[in-house]
């Protein structure tokens, strides 16, 4: 696996949840075929630099590796279906539209709206990539604690213990102002783990970190079942975390970027 293959298969083609720095330098649009067929066990539906500068290949909604009702009772089937097929699809559409508008701007050499469309790339791009990782780190067989020795060591070194990490992650995710994400990420320069918040999808986030375990705390992710009890949803999410998938991301990120 080369560096680009790694990024598209494990990071959603985006090393960070934003629009600048290493993330944008390493991101890659998907080819139509790859996005359509990729399941999410290890893939975010990304592919290599297909298309060209005027007609870039479009991103596509990745398929789930499990059914919409597979995460019951922790996350209900209706929420999963709406979340994946409607909300995630809208980010994919928004990203493709923004990229098409920017391609048009280059073609016409008219950048009057570049600020607007760049923000759209940030919002919809981060939304698409984070959701792709989000689906990938959940499993009907999830929950418990990580078993991977390196991940356990990193969690202990960065947070003190798994219990301290869990308390920190739940608190940070529950306290995101308005809509956004709680994120466990790997920071490559000092080889450490961070927990942070991302308002909306892209604000207040450390650049150049690799998301390992993002949790969506937009209301659409939990309101049908949990209403205003976001904390209950966050705690329930811990029961479906696929720690093997998190460990895989951790190892691949360190191998390729460390």
129 binds Fe ion (CB under 5 A): no
Burial 37-66 (b: 16+ CB within 10 A, else e): ebebeebbbbbbebeeeeebbbbbbbebbb
| Binding residue (CB under 5 A) for Fe ion from 216, 246, 252, 256 | 216
136 binds Fe ion (CB under 5 A): no
For Fe ion, give the closer residue by CB, 230 or 257: 230
For Fe ion, give the closer residue by CB, 216 or 242: 216
- In sequence order, what DSSP letters do the residues of 28-92 get, joined into one string? -PPPHHHHHH--SSS--S--SS-B-SSSBPPP-PPPPSS-TTTTTTTS-HHHHHHIIIIIIHHHH
Cα distances (angstroms) measured from residue 53 to each of 8, 22, 101, 235: 19, 20, 12, 44
Stretch that binds Fe ion, among 35-43, 48-56, 70-78, 209-217 (CB under 5 A): 209-217
> Cβ of residue 211: shortest distance to Fe ion, in angstroms?
14
218 binds Fe ion (CB under 5 A): yes
58 binds Fe ion (CB under 5 A): no
Stretch that binds Fe ion, among 31-39, 71-79, 102-110, 217-225 (CB under 5 A): 217-225
Site residues, Fe ion (CB under 5 A): 216, 218
């Amino acid at each position: 696996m080369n560096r680009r293959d790694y990024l598209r298969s494990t990071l959603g083609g985006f090393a960070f949840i934003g629009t600048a720095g290493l993330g944008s330098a390493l991101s890659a649009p998907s080819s139509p075929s790859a996005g359509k067929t990729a399941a999410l066990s290890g893939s975010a539906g990304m592919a290599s630099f297909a298309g060209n500068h005027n007609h870039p290949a479009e991103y596509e909604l990745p398929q789930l590796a499990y059914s919409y009702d597979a995460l019951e009772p922790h996350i209900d089937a209706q929420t999963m279906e709406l979340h994946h097929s409607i909300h995630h699809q809208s980010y994919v559409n928004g990203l493709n539209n923004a990229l098409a508008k920017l391609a048009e701007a280059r073609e016409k050499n008219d950048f009057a709206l570049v600020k607007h469309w760049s923000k759209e790339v940030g919002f919809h791009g981060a939304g698409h990539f984070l959701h792709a990782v989000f689906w990938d780190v959940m499993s009907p067989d999830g929950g418990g604690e990580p078993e991977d020795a390196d991940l356990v060591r990193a969690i202990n070194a960065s947070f003190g213990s798994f219990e301290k990490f869990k308390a920190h992650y739940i608190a940070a995710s529950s306290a995101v102002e308005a809509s956004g994400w709680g994120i466990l990420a790997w920071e490559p320069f000092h080889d450490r783990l961070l927990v942070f918040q991302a308002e909306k999808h892209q604000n207040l986030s450390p650049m150049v970190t690799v998301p390992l375990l993002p949790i969506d705390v937009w209301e659409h992710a939990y309101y049908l079942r949990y209403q205003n009890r976001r904390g209950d949803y966050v705690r329930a999410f811990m029961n479906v975390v696929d720690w093997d998938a998190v460990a895989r991301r951790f190892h691949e990120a360190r191998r390729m970027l460390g």
